[in-house]
Amino acid sequence: MKLEQGTVEVIYNNNVESPLFNTPVLQIIAYKRVETKTDKSSRYHLNLSDGKYYIKAVMSSTISPMMEKNIKINSMIKIKKFQLLSKNDNNFVYVRELECYEDCNRKMGDPTPVSKFNSDIRDVAPSENNDKNKYVEIEKENTVEKKKIEREEVVKNRKVSHMDITSVSSINPFQTKWKIKATVTTKSDIRYFTNQKGEGKLFSMEMADNSGSIKVVAFSESVDIFYPLMDVGKTYIISKGFVKMAHKQFSNTTSNYEIHLDKNSEVELTAEVENPKVHYNFTKVGALNTTNPIVDIIGVVKEVFAPSTVMIKSVQKEAEKKDFILVDKTGSVRVTLWNNLVETELDNNPVVALKNMRATEYNGVSLSTISSSSIVINPELEEAYELRGWYEEEGKDIKIVLPKREEESKTIEEVTTMELEYSTIISTIIFIKEDLLWYSACVECNKKVELEGEGQYRCERCNNLFDKCNFRFMVTMNVADHTGQIWLTLFDEQATKLFKHTANELKEIGEEDSTKLQSIVKNLNNKELVFKIRRREENYNNELKVRYNGLNIEELDYIKESYKILKKIDN
């Protein structure tokens, strides 16, 4: 059995909607035997802890024999049936039946009383002879059947006093109690990820009231609770989430913070209809860059290309896309719509407002939709009317010149501080990890395979066995310049260019003469190269970790680079 912090608070506050309320697991950190006044039986008064807080409890006399024979200090108990009672404005638990128990040899955590006013409980266990005025029953019997509460009950329709509500613009991590009432303006698909702790999932929403907008994120089991219950256009009251600094590279909200939901969070559908203003933070086409990769933009559709289907290599799935050219007074940009947004009608050169678009700079600046993107055709905005007038007078006659910039190298310090998604660096190889240069790959899909006992290789993706495998590079190296260093991963194509051998060839060399393999690897140390790299962020334990992958490597042209430096000096 495992304690879950928050269980005592959930019980004390009678939060029956929380998963922690049903069959809770708690630890006995203190108890005493009390003789009842009405009969010869005895009951036990206990302090039950979740590792953070403890709550007073009274055991039913039917459980007393079990207490006397088996249960000790620090034992874990799983409660099958209980009632939440109150005396003198303090809540306590009356335990009617245990599901199981387990010995534990130490106290978990350093728990404190769930209420500093939680006074001692004496002679209040319910019985037929108790005076009913001595205690108030808060919750009826909690049984295993209550675990079947419909998920929809997490969201309740109700009206809330405006005095209880915190505006989105004023929410911050230093507030201990808050409630926001906001409307879901965008909602992403569920995203799946893999990290060192295993597989996980998340989804995010942008919510807004009349004061501003904020990103709301749910991970893991919270996705199962909240994703089916929250819809775009509906208004909810949210409380008991965690307020954290926003990752602005992933959102373009007006708030500097974001809310993370967990299984103890409360989300309630309100019957009040809210129509908050959509909060845009428009970027001009001419100012697009990847320093702030998530942007809002407004412009006129100049040209639309036919939809097409492409294969997404990372997930081995086909996806629909449609490109169009967007223009404003400062320039033009190619925009890609994915999946459901492909159906958007863009005929007759409409003005479009695009929210939460990803800006990339790879062979030129471009924009593409992500799961939280939205598009509004001919929005009723001042910027839209101004653009329509400009386009009719002169914009429709302009020549489209898509921005394409000469690649300018960045220092490692610039790459890390500016959080650039794509960049080019000139760096020196400091160290190459020799222990993991390649992996065993499937001969059909190139994914990793495992060697079975009969000498065959199993591919989980293909769900097949093969007599042989390929070896493909996955090389980890440390590269540096005068401003810093990063760890970089090169995959098969670029690593083959670097070693001038395939992974199969290099493995054979190592099997014949390991010192020759070591020599090939070490001879690459101190080699200066031009690296085209991509920054990626992975979720690890609800924290984002940065990884850098090498997309291309080239020999450094010292003459060309010298001219570039001289030109910078002259300017």
Please state the φ and ψ torsions of residue 81, each to the nearest 5 degrees: -135, 135
Kindly tell me the burial class for residue 205, based on how many C-beta atoms sit within 10 Å of its own C-beta (0-12, 13-18, 19 or more): buried
pTM: 0.43
Residue 191, pLDDT score: 84
In DSSP terms, which residues pair with 410 in a beta bridge? 425
Which domains are seen in the chain, by residue range?
7-148 (2.40.50.140), 153-269 (2.40.50.140), 294-394 (2.40.50.140), 412-570 (2.40.50.140)
Q: How far apart are CA 537 and CA 554, in angstroms?
A: 25
Kindly tell me the burial class for residue 459, based on how many C-beta atoms sit within 10 Å of its own C-beta (0-12, 13-18, 19 or more): buried
Residue 354, pLDDT score: 94
Q: Which helix (H) or strand (E) holds 488?
A: strand 484-491
Using CA atoms, how far residue 124 sits from 26, 55, 99, 137, 455, in Å, is 21, 15, 23, 11, 69
Residue 274, pLDDT score: 65
Please state the φ and ψ torsions of residue 564, each to the nearest 5 degrees: -60, -45
Q: How far apart are CA 133 and CA 292, in angstroms?
A: 63
Residue 142, pLDDT score: 44
Find all residues with CB under 8 Å of 555, minimum gap 6, and list them.
529, 530
Kindly tell me the burial class for residue 555, based on how many C-beta atoms sit within 10 Å of its own C-beta (0-12, 13-18, 19 or more): exposed
**DSSP 3-state assignment of 501?**
coil
Residue 362, pLDDT score: 56
Pick the closest to residue 60 from 97, 115, 13, 23 (CA basis).
97
Find all residues with CB under 8 Å of 523, minimum gap 6, and list them.
none
Q: How far apart are CA 144 and CA 247, in angstroms?
A: 41
R_g (Cα) of the chain, nearest Å: 31
Q: What is the largest CA-CA distance in the chain?
A: 100
- Residue-wise pLDDT tens for the chain (571 aa)? 888 888 998 888 888 777 888 889 999 998 888 775 544 557 788 899 999 899 999 888 777 777 777 778 888 999 988 888 776 667 888 888 888 888 888 888 888 888 753 433 333 334 333 333 334 444 444 433 333 343 444 444 444 445 578 889 888 888 878 999 999 988 888 888 776 677 888 999 989 888 888 999 999 888 988 998 888 888 999 999 999 888 776 777 888 899 999 988 999 888 776 677 778 889 998 888 766 678 899 999 998 888 888 776 655 677 888 999 999 998 889 999 988 888 888 988 999 999 989 888 755 678 999 877 889 999 989 999 999 999 988 888 877 765 545 567 899 998 988 877 778 999 999 999 988 899 999 988 888 999 887 788 999 888 888 989 999 999 999 999 999 999 999 999 999 999 999 999 999 999 999 999 999 999 999 999 999 998 887 766 666 788 999 988 999 989 888 888 888 787 6
Number of alpha carbons in the 13 Å side-chain half-sphere of residue 336: 17
Q: Give the orientation angle of helix 492-499 with respect to helix 503-512, to 10 degrees.
A: 50
Find all residues with CB under 8 Å of 237, minimum gap 6, and list them.
158, 160, 165, 179, 180, 181, 266, 267, 268, 270
Using CA atoms, how far residue 569 sits from 80, 443, 530, in Å, is 77, 52, 21
Please state the φ and ψ torsions of residue 51, each to the nearest 5 degrees: 95, -20
Q: How far apart are CA 276 and CA 236, in angstroms?
A: 12
Residue 394, pLDDT score: 85
Q: How far apart are CA 68 and CA 63, in angstroms?
A: 9
In DSSP terms, which residues pair with 536 in a beta bridge? 547
DSSP secondary structure letter of residue 102: E
Pick the closest to residue 118 from 12, 221, 194 (CA basis).
12
Q: What is the DSSP string of 157-213?
A: -B---GGGPPPGGG--TT-SS-EEEEEEEEEPPPEEEEETTEEEEEEEEEEEETTEE
